[in-house]
Amino acid sequence: MQYLASLAIASLSAALFLLVADVFIVDLPARPLIPVFIRYLIVCAIFMFGGMVTSALPLTFQAAGSIFSICLTLIVVFGLASEAGDGPPHHWIQYFNVFAIARQFLVGGSQPDGIWVAIWLYTVACIVLGIYGFKHFRMNPEWSNR
Protein backbone atom coordinates (compact mmCIF):
# COMPACT_ATOMS: atom_id res chain seq x y z
CA MET A 1 0.00 0.00 0.00
CA GLN A 2 2.93 2.37 0.55
CA TYR A 3 3.73 2.23 -3.16
CA LEU A 4 0.18 3.16 -4.09
CA ALA A 5 0.35 5.98 -1.56
CA SER A 6 3.63 7.18 -3.13
CA LEU A 7 2.04 7.12 -6.57
CA ALA A 8 -0.98 9.05 -5.30
CA ILE A 9 1.22 11.70 -3.65
CA ALA A 10 3.33 12.10 -6.79
CA SER A 11 0.20 12.38 -8.96
CA LEU A 12 -1.42 14.94 -6.69
CA SER A 13 1.74 17.05 -6.48
CA ALA A 14 2.15 17.00 -10.26
CA ALA A 15 -1.50 17.93 -10.70
CA LEU A 16 -1.16 20.80 -8.22
CA PHE A 17 1.90 22.24 -9.97
CA LEU A 18 0.24 21.90 -13.36
CA LEU A 19 -2.89 23.63 -12.10
CA VAL A 20 -0.80 26.52 -10.78
CA ALA A 21 1.12 26.66 -14.06
CA ASP A 22 -2.06 26.64 -16.10
CA VAL A 23 -3.54 29.49 -14.08
CA PHE A 24 -0.39 31.63 -14.25
CA ILE A 25 0.50 30.82 -17.84
CA VAL A 26 -2.90 30.89 -19.51
CA ASP A 27 -4.80 33.34 -17.32
CA LEU A 28 -2.21 36.10 -16.97
CA PRO A 29 -3.71 39.50 -17.89
CA ALA A 30 -0.67 40.37 -20.04
CA ARG A 31 -0.89 37.09 -21.88
CA PRO A 32 0.00 38.43 -25.36
CA LEU A 33 3.27 39.81 -23.97
CA ILE A 34 4.45 36.34 -23.02
CA PRO A 35 5.77 34.40 -26.02
CA VAL A 36 4.39 30.93 -26.46
CA PHE A 37 7.79 29.27 -26.31
CA ILE A 38 8.34 30.69 -22.80
CA ARG A 39 5.08 29.07 -21.73
CA TYR A 40 6.30 25.80 -23.20
CA LEU A 41 9.57 26.12 -21.29
CA ILE A 42 7.68 26.69 -18.04
CA VAL A 43 5.54 23.62 -18.67
CA CYS A 44 8.65 21.56 -19.45
CA ALA A 45 10.28 22.78 -16.22
CA ILE A 46 7.21 21.69 -14.28
CA PHE A 47 7.37 18.25 -15.83
CA MET A 48 11.08 18.06 -15.03
CA PHE A 49 10.13 18.69 -11.41
CA GLY A 50 7.53 15.94 -11.73
CA GLY A 51 10.26 13.69 -13.10
CA MET A 52 12.39 14.38 -10.03
CA VAL A 53 9.43 13.47 -7.83
CA THR A 54 8.78 10.22 -9.69
CA SER A 55 12.48 9.31 -9.70
CA ALA A 56 12.10 8.45 -6.03
CA LEU A 57 9.51 5.84 -6.96
CA PRO A 58 10.41 2.25 -7.89
CA LEU A 59 11.33 1.31 -11.44
CA THR A 60 7.94 -0.02 -12.47
CA PHE A 61 6.22 3.22 -11.58
CA GLN A 62 8.95 5.22 -13.30
CA ALA A 63 8.52 3.37 -16.59
CA ALA A 64 4.74 3.56 -16.58
CA GLY A 65 4.76 7.10 -15.23
CA SER A 66 7.14 8.25 -17.95
CA ILE A 67 4.78 7.08 -20.68
CA PHE A 68 1.86 8.74 -18.91
CA SER A 69 3.85 11.96 -18.42
CA ILE A 70 4.80 12.14 -22.09
CA CYS A 71 1.15 11.80 -23.10
CA LEU A 72 0.06 14.36 -20.51
CA THR A 73 2.81 16.76 -21.63
CA LEU A 74 1.62 16.61 -25.23
CA ILE A 75 -1.97 17.12 -24.12
CA VAL A 76 -1.13 20.16 -21.99
CA VAL A 77 1.19 21.72 -24.58
CA PHE A 78 -1.38 21.30 -27.36
CA GLY A 79 -4.04 22.61 -24.99
CA LEU A 80 -1.98 25.72 -24.19
CA ALA A 81 -1.19 26.26 -27.86
CA SER A 82 -4.83 25.89 -28.77
CA GLU A 83 -5.91 28.39 -26.10
CA ALA A 84 -3.19 30.83 -27.14
CA GLY A 85 -4.33 30.62 -30.76
CA ASP A 86 -1.01 29.15 -31.90
CA GLY A 87 -2.05 25.55 -32.22
CA PRO A 88 -4.69 23.48 -33.97
CA PRO A 89 -8.11 24.92 -33.04
CA HIS A 90 -9.68 21.54 -32.37
CA HIS A 91 -12.70 21.51 -30.13
CA TRP A 92 -11.89 18.05 -28.80
CA ILE A 93 -8.66 19.28 -27.18
CA GLN A 94 -10.64 20.96 -24.40
CA TYR A 95 -11.80 17.55 -23.22
CA PHE A 96 -8.19 16.47 -22.71
CA ASN A 97 -6.84 19.70 -21.22
CA VAL A 98 -7.69 18.69 -17.66
CA PHE A 99 -6.84 21.99 -16.06
CA ALA A 100 -8.71 24.17 -18.53
CA ILE A 101 -11.72 21.93 -17.93
CA ALA A 102 -11.30 22.27 -14.18
CA ARG A 103 -11.07 26.04 -14.52
CA GLN A 104 -14.23 26.11 -16.65
CA PHE A 105 -16.01 23.96 -14.11
CA LEU A 106 -14.97 26.15 -11.17
CA VAL A 107 -15.93 29.44 -12.80
CA GLY A 108 -19.10 28.07 -14.39
CA GLY A 109 -17.82 27.87 -17.94
CA SER A 110 -19.66 26.80 -21.02
CA GLN A 111 -18.90 23.08 -20.76
CA PRO A 112 -18.74 22.00 -17.11
CA ASP A 113 -19.57 18.40 -17.97
CA GLY A 114 -16.16 17.97 -19.61
CA ILE A 115 -14.47 17.72 -16.22
CA TRP A 116 -16.06 14.33 -15.65
CA VAL A 117 -14.42 13.05 -18.83
CA ALA A 118 -11.05 14.29 -17.59
CA ILE A 119 -11.54 12.87 -14.10
CA TRP A 120 -12.55 9.51 -15.57
CA LEU A 121 -9.50 9.32 -17.87
CA TYR A 122 -7.12 10.40 -15.11
CA THR A 123 -8.63 7.97 -12.60
CA VAL A 124 -8.47 5.04 -15.00
CA ALA A 125 -4.83 5.83 -15.82
CA CYS A 126 -3.90 5.98 -12.12
CA ILE A 127 -5.74 2.73 -11.36
CA VAL A 128 -4.04 0.91 -14.25
CA LEU A 129 -0.61 2.20 -13.21
CA GLY A 130 -1.28 1.27 -9.58
CA ILE A 131 -2.42 -2.28 -10.37
CA TYR A 132 0.46 -2.82 -12.80
CA GLY A 133 3.05 -1.63 -10.30
CA PHE A 134 1.51 -3.48 -7.36
CA LYS A 135 1.43 -6.80 -9.25
CA HIS A 136 5.07 -6.44 -10.24
CA PHE A 137 6.11 -5.65 -6.69
CA ARG A 138 4.35 -8.74 -5.38
CA MET A 139 6.11 -10.89 -8.00
CA ASN A 140 9.50 -9.16 -7.60
CA PRO A 141 9.98 -8.29 -3.93
CA GLU A 142 13.66 -7.51 -4.46
CA TRP A 143 12.63 -4.32 -6.26
CA SER A 144 11.29 -2.92 -3.02
CA ASN A 145 14.87 -2.73 -1.69
CA ARG A 146 15.64 0.01 -4.19
Give ∠ CA 141-55-137 in degrees, rounded to 5: 15
The pLDDT, as a whole number, for residue 71 is: 60
Q: Which residue blocks in 1-146 are alpha helix, DSSP H? A: 2-26, 36-54, 59-84, 98-107, 114-139
Burial class of residue 7 (count of CB atoms within 10 Å of its CB; 0-12, 13-18, 19+): buried
d(CA 137, CA 116): 31
Are 43 and 122 within 8 A, CB to CB? Answer: no
The per-residue pLDDT for 127 is 61
- Global confidence as pTM: 0.28
Please name which of 79, 80, 74, 69 lies closest in space to residue 122, comparing C-alpha atoms.
Answer: 69
Kindly give the confidence (pLDDT) of every residue in the chain, 146 residues in length, as a single tens digit, with 9 standing for 90 and above.
Answer: 555 565 556 565 556 555 555 555 555 444 554 555 565 556 556 555 555 555 555 555 555 555 565 566 555 555 555 554 544 444 444 444 555 555 555 554 444 444 445 555 555 666 666 666 666 655 555 554 44
User: HSE-up of 41 (CA within 13 Å, CB side)?
Assistant: 5
Domain segments of the chain as ranges? 2-27+35-145
Q: Return the amino acid letter for 19.
A: L
